[in-house]
Structure 1
Amino acid sequence: MDDYMVIACIRHGLTEENEKGKYLGWTNSSLSRKGIELLKRRNTFFEEYERCFSSDLNRCLETAHFLFPHAPLISSSLLREIHFGGWEGLTYESLKDDDAYQEWLLDPSISPPNGEGIEQFGKRVDLAWAQIVAQIEEHNGKRYAVMTHGGVIRHLLTSLSPGHVHRTFWEWKVNHGEGYEMVWKTENDWRNQTCTSLREVPLMGKAYG
């Protein structure tokens, strides 16, 4: 049976801040030279998608350009990474002695200074997903990509994965320039939202379910 719906959630390529282990969040960085080279080597392994929904930050828009140059692009600020506020651009090493940071590591529902807590972040991503679903319904296609950030992908996978694929938010491994295709086999599956199965993209890994 052909898949009823396929939506790939893909993490943007590397930036210089990523390479240095910095919290990036809403900082509007571009891809690094290394990130671009990795994407150029990888783009032939991706299949085509009818449209690409993307975070409006440069690193996602640039990755979408390299991987899916022919797909119409729809950007949204709702697909941004969690906002780290005053910790943007800093590393674990520079923050490890900060009491507020240590409290946040233990309880991410606490917002970073001038930033965003995990619950607020989750509600924003849920709204982004609802808008994507509405646009897909209007377009009436079958294959889409979502170009976004690690935290957004982890939230969507935790919310939409089938029950037998049980992972917590932090257990999902999402490398730069890679991600997962969520597959819905039937229209009824799609209406229920929980996907039927997952498979890694580029399609060189194993399927989950």
Structure 2
Amino acid sequence: MDDYMVIACIRHGLTDENEQGKYLGWTNSSLSRKGIELLKRRNTLFEEYERCFSSDLNRCIETAHFLFPHAPLISSSLLRELHFGSWEGLTYESLKEDDVYQEWILDPSISPPNGEGMNQFGNRVELAWAQIIKQIEEHNGKRYAVITHGGVIRHLLTSLSPKNVHRTFWEWEVNHGEGYELVWKTENDWRNQTCTSLREVPLMGKADG
């Protein structure tokens, strides 16, 4: 039986800041040369999608264009990464002596200075997902891609994964230029939101769930 709905959640390609281990939330960086080359090598490994939803930040929009140049693109600021506030552009090494940072590592519900707490972030991602569902229902298609950030994907996987897949937010491994297809086998599964199964994309990894 054909899948009723497939939504791929794919992390953007590498940026210079990613390669340097810097916190990169709302900073509007573009893809690095290495990131572009990796995406060019992977774009033929992906299946096609009818439409792409994307964070409005450059690194995601650029990733969508490299991977799915023919798919219509809808961008939204709601799909941005966690806002790291005053820690944007800094590394663990430069922050490790900061008491607030150490407190945040132990309790991520605390907001970074001038940034966003995990509860606020989660509520924003849920709103983005609700808008995606609404647009999918209006479009009436079956295969979509969401090009976004690691934190957003981890939140969605934690919320929507099959009941037999037990992982916490930080246990999900989401590499740059890769992700997961969330699959709903039936319309009833889709209405219940929890997906039927997961599979890694591009199809060079193993199925999970």
TM-score, structure 1 as length reference: 1.00
Superposed structure 1 runs of 4+ greater than 2 Å apart = none
The count of corresponding residues between Structure 1 and Structure 2 is 209
User: Which residue of structure 2 lines up, in the alignment, with residue 30 of structure 1?
Assistant: 30
CA distance in 1, matches of 2:61, 2:191: 29
User: Which residue of structure 1 lines up, in the alignment, with residue 149 of structure 2?
Assistant: 149
Q: 1:207: Cα distance to partner? A: 1.4
**Residues 118-158 of structure 1 deviation map (CA, whole Å, 9 limit, x = unaligned):** 01000000000000000000000000000000000000000
Amino acid at match of 1:65: H
Q: 1:47: Cα distance to partner? A: 0.5
CA distance in 1, matches of 2:106, 2:87: 16
User: Which residue of structure 1 lines up, in the alignment, with residue 63 of structure 2?
Assistant: 63
Q: State the identity %.
A: 90
**Structure 1 unaligned runs (5+)?**
none
CA RMSD, aligned part only? 0.4
Q: 1:203: Cα distance to partner? A: 1.1
User: Which residue of structure 2 lines up, in the alignment, with residue 132 of structure 1?
Assistant: 132
User: Which residue of structure 2 lines up, in the alignment, with residue 82 of structure 1?
Assistant: 82
Q: 1:91: Cα distance to partner? A: 0.1
CA distance in 1, matches of 2:205, 2:18: 24
Alignment of 1:16-55 (within 5 A): 16-55=16-55
User: Which residue of structure 1 lines up, in the alignment, with residue 199 of structure 2?
Assistant: 199
**Residues 147-178 of structure 1 deviation map (CA, whole Å, 9 limit, x = unaligned):** 00000000000000011001000000000000
Is 1:3 matched with 2:9? Answer: no
**Residues 19-65 of structure 1 deviation map (CA, whole Å, 9 limit, x = unaligned):** 00000000000000000000000100001000000000000000000
CA distance in 1, matches of 2:139, 2:166: 31
**Structure 2 unaligned runs (5+)?**
none
**Residues 184-209 of structure 1 deviation map (CA, whole Å, 9 limit, x = unaligned):** 00000000000000000001222123
CA distance in 1, matches of 2:93, 2:208: 35
TM-score, structure 2 as length reference: 1.00
Describe the SS at the equivalent of 1:13: coil
User: Which residue of structure 2 lines up, in the alignment, with residue 187 of structure 1?
Assistant: 187
